[in-house]
Amino acid sequence: MTTSGAPTRPRFKRSSPRKKSQLRSRRLAAGEAEAAGGPALARAPLPSPLEVDAVPRIGHALPREFFEVDALDLAPRLLGKLLRRDEVILRITEVEAYRPNDSACHGRFGITARTAPVFGPGGHAYVYLCYGLHMMLNIVADMEGVGAAVLIRSCSPVTGLETIQRRRGQQTEKPILLTGPGKVGQALGLSTDWSNHPLYTPGGLEVLDGPEPEAILVGPRVGIDYASPEHVAAPWRFAIAGTPWISAPKNTLWPR
């Protein structure tokens, strides 16, 4: 609402002498940095909040023996571990286990040109194309010849956010960026050529040690209605509790 008459002069809050002194000190420091050939403090880029806490905790590549266990044991152990390809590092936040004699596992078809990596050594990648669109990353579990793997369902970004966004075609930092197995494969720039790649060797695509989650959620796997009832209901889906980087549905998960 406005009133007639002379316009009222705007009031500005005065800065305290102490605050003025602090601002003056910052400007002087910035000028000194530029004079010395360094960047001004005001222009120094701030680290991404996604990277600040995670980068110092990146560990070494996990050994092959880490993966040579039952898929149901490997799946929760992978939560909090890191996937690295070039400058992109993702923290694994959600997985699903697929085991021998599992009516939802690709190993049920036996060894074919597509499924052969599932029967390979533990710690190798199994990447397959889903619906002709999505590259799905699995980590082979157990010993060679068993036919078991863990599907990487969701991750959170640690480094390489711009590359992730470009590959995904989404300029966002929200969980929609990486909550879903096809999104993870796209963010890492994977193709089926990565199948059989050893994830415990330096370079390329590798799994690194990372901080263990404080609590874990479990529930039935997603999108396996074709499987037998006992396997549809089996609580072989695992996720980090308290993180938003989990795919839908979330209401089928409960504390472990």
Q: Which fold has domain 55-249?
A: 3-methyladenine DNA Glycosylase; Chain A (3.10.300)
Six-digit token string for 225 = 């209605």
> Would the pLDDT of 21 be above 80?
no
Global confidence as pTM? 0.78
Six-digit token string for 120 = 């390979």
Of the pLDDT bands very low, low, confident and very high (cuts 50, 70, 90), residue 203 is confident
How much is the pLDDT for 202? 87
Listed by start position, the domains of the chain span 55-249
What are 210-225's pLDDT values in tens digits?
999 999 999 999 999 9
Q: What is the mean pLDDT of the chain?
A: 84
Residues 140-161, mean pLDDT to the nearest whole number: 97
How much is the pLDDT for 145? 95
Residues 158-181, mean pLDDT to the nearest whole number: 97
DSSP state of 250: -
Of the pLDDT bands very low, low, confident and very high (cuts 50, 70, 90), residue 252 is very high
How much is the pLDDT for 132? 74
Q: What 3-state class would DSSP assign to 232?
A: helix
Q: Where are the alpha helices (DSSP H) in the chain?
A: 17-35, 71-78, 161-168, 181-187, 229-233
Please name the residue that has the structure tokens 């889906």.
Answer: 237
> Would the pLDDT of 33 be above 80?
no
Q: Which residues contact 96 (CB under 8 A, 6 or more apart)?
A: 75, 150, 151, 153, 221, 222, 236, 237, 238
Percent of the chain at pLDDT > 70 equals 78
Of the pLDDT bands very low, low, confident and very high (cuts 50, 70, 90), residue 57 is low
Q: What are the two backbone dihedrals, phi and then psi, of residue 209, each rounded to the nearest 5 degrees?
A: -65, 150
Residues 29-41, mean pLDDT to the nearest whole number: 37
